[in-house]
Amino acid sequence: ETGVTQSPTHLIKTRGQQVTLRCSSQSGHNTVSWYQQALGQGPQFIFQYYREEENGRGNFPPRFSGLQFPNYSSELNVNALELDDSALYLCASSSGTIGPASQYFGPGTRLTVL
């Protein structure tokens, strides 16, 4: 059973560019959540996808968008990058039938915006 994987590990972009981050869920998991962790802060909930539909969203602007594919892998897209978007982006997968304790996190993608 493979865990949650994310790619790329690190990424450097410039302000105004667009970025796509990828996440592969743990086997058997149909729910994916994305979090942003700025330096010195705890992770902040961006949104959650369940069976290819966004079913929950935190306090993030529309330029943060996502997709979930039939195999339950997921993408996070960020348009018009700003300096404050520099952070560690974490993906977590879970089975929709089990409570929040079942969320398994990937190692994250470190995004730097210059």
Give Cα 97 distance to the centre of its chain.
Answer: 20
Task: Tokens for 89, please give them.
Answer: 């982006």
Give the number of residues in contact with another protein, rule: CB under 8 A: 27
Say whether residue 84 binds another protein (CB under 8 A).
Answer: no
Q: Which of 14, 17, 27, 55 binds another protein (CB under 8 A)?
A: 55
Say whether residue 90 binds another protein (CB under 8 A).
Answer: yes
Integer CA distances (angstroms), 14 to 64, 67, 78, 87, in order: 16, 23, 12, 14
Say whether residue 106 binds another protein (CB under 8 A).
Answer: yes
The burial class, CB within 10 Å (0-12 / 13-18 / 19+), for 33 is: buried
Say whether residue 42 binds another protein (CB under 8 A).
Answer: yes
| Residues making contact with another protein (CB under 8 A) | 4, 33, 35, 40-45, 47-48, 50, 55-56, 58, 90, 92, 99-108
